[in-house]
A and B are shown apart, each in its own frame.
Chain A
Amino acid sequence: METLVAPNADDLHPDVALVERVRSGDLSAFEQLMKQYDRQIFRIAQHITQSREDAEDVVQDTFLKAYTKLDQFQGNSKFYTWLVRIAVNESLMRLRKRRNHPTVSMDEDIQTEEGSVPRDFADWAPNPEQLYRQTELAEILRNNVEKLSPGFRAVFALRDVDGLSTEETAEALGLSIPAVKSRLLRARLQLRERLSRYFRLPSGEQA
C-alpha cells in the first residue's frame, strides 16, 4: 500500500485530524464526527428512503460501517463525502430490503424516458406554494418524489437539499460528473412535469 503524500497542513480539513485520532483509538473523536454529521445523514437518508424509520436505521448503520471501515478512508476525499457515500448505499439497501426486491440501485429506472423531455408548457401560478396549505403541499411533494427512482432521489437530495457540489455528488454516488448532471436534469424535469398538474395556471390565464 502506498502512503498518501501529505498535503500542506493548511489544506487539511479538520475532520482529517479527528479521523487520525479515531484511528489511534480515541473514540471521543468519532463521537464528535457523528454529532457533526448525523443530522445531515438523516436528512439524506430520509429523502432517499422516504421513510423516517428507515432513515433512523440508516444513520446508525452508516456510522457503524464508517467506524469499521475507517481504514479504507484515504483522505483524498472529504470525510463527509465518504460518509455520504456509505449512507446512500445503506439507504438503497434499506429500500431493497423493504421491497424485497433485489434491483433497487442507483440505476433503477434510469433508462425510462418519461419526463425527460418537457411536455407541459403551461406556466405556473406566481406563488404556487400558496395554492395549498403547508401540509397539503408536503403531501403533494412526498407523493410525487416517491415516484422518482431512488437514483434520482439520491441526486436530488445531495445537490438540492444537502447542497453538495456536482463533483462531491459524483464522488458520493460513484458516478461521473456528466452522469450526475444528466440525472439531476432529468430528476428535476420529471418532478417539474408532475408538479405542473397542481401548480399550473388554468389555461388561458397569464402569470
Chain B
Amino acid sequence: MNCREFLERLEDYIDPQTATELRAELDTHAFGCSHCQVTFNTTRKTVEIYRNNELYELPQNLREKIQEAVMKKCSKMREANKDCSGSTSE
C-alpha cells in the first residue's frame, strides 16, 4: 500500500468497525510511514475535538416557545384543511 492508497482509506482507518484484514494492511503502512501516521493521528484528533465541541444547547424556554408556535400553526393548517376538504380521504 502506498501513501495515496492509505489516504484514500483513511476514513476506514478512523472507523472502528473496519474489518481486521484491511486494518492490518493500513497498520503496516502507517508503521513504516511517519507522514501517514501523523496525518492519521491528527485527523482522528480533529474529529474528536470537533465532536466534543458543543455549541449552544437550545434553552428550554425557547424550545417550548418554538414548539408552541409550530403546534399553533399546524393546528390552524389542520382546521383549514378540514374546512376546505370536507370528507376527502378514505
Hey, what's the 0/1 contact readout for A187-198 against B, CB within 8 Å counting as 1? 011011001100
Task: Output the nearest chain B residue to A129 by Cβ-Cβ distance.
Answer: B49
Q: How far is the CB of A25 from chain B (nearest CB, A)?
A: 7
Q: B10 touching A192 by the CB < 8 A rule?
A: no
Q: A123 touching B42 by the CB < 8 A rule?
A: yes
Partner of B39, one of A34, A39, A67, A118: A118
Bound CA span A121–B34, Å: 8
Residues of A with C-beta under 8 A to B62: 56
In B18-71, which residues have CB < 8 Å from any A CB?
34-35, 38-39, 41-43, 45-47, 49-53, 55-58, 62-63, 66-67, 69-71
Hey, what's the 0/1 contact readout for A51-70 against B, CB within 8 Å counting as 1? 01000100110011001100
Contact residues on B (Cβ < 8 Å of other chain), bracket: 35 or more
Residues of B with C-beta under 8 A to A118: 7, 35, 39
Bound CA span A4–B42, Å: 46
Bound CA span A73–B43, Å: 37
Q: A64 touching B74 by the CB < 8 A rule?
A: yes
Residues of B with C-beta under 8 A to A60: 66, 69-70
- Judge whether A108 is part of the interface by a CB distance below 8 angstroms: no
Q: A128 touching B45 by the CB < 8 A rule?
A: yes
Interface SS, B side: helix
Q: Which 10 A-B pairs have the closest CB atoms?
A: A192-B46, A42-B58, A118-B39, A121-B35, A63-B70, A67-B74, A46-B55, A192-B43, A121-B38, A141-B53
- How many pairs of A and B residues are in contact by the CB < 8 Å rule? 99
Q: B50 touching A38 by the CB < 8 A rule?
A: no
Q: Which residues of B contact A (CB under 8 A)?
A: 7, 10-11, 14, 34-35, 38-39, 41-43, 45-47, 49-53, 55-58, 62-63, 66-67, 69-71, 73-75, 77-78
Bound CA span A52–B77, Å: 28
Jot down 11 A-B pairs with beta carbons below 8 A, ordered by A: A35-B67, A38-B67, A39-B63, A52-B55, A56-B62, A118-B7, A124-B42, A138-B53, A141-B50, A181-B11, A185-B11
Q: Which residues of A contact B (CB under 8 A)?
A: 25, 27, 30-31, 34-35, 38-39, 42-43, 46-47, 52, 56, 59-60, 63-64, 67-68, 117-118, 121-124, 128-129, 137-138, 141, 145, 156, 160-161, 181, 184-185, 188-189, 191-192, 195-196, 199
Q: How far is the CB of B9 from chain A (nearest CB, A)?
A: 9
Residues of B with C-beta under 8 A to A122: 38
Q: B45 touching A59 by the CB < 8 A rule?
A: no
Q: B57 touching A39 by the CB < 8 A rule?
A: yes
Whether A34 touches B67, Cβ cut-off 8 Å, given contacts A46-B56, A161-B51, is yes
Residues of A with C-beta under 8 A to B53: 137-138, 141
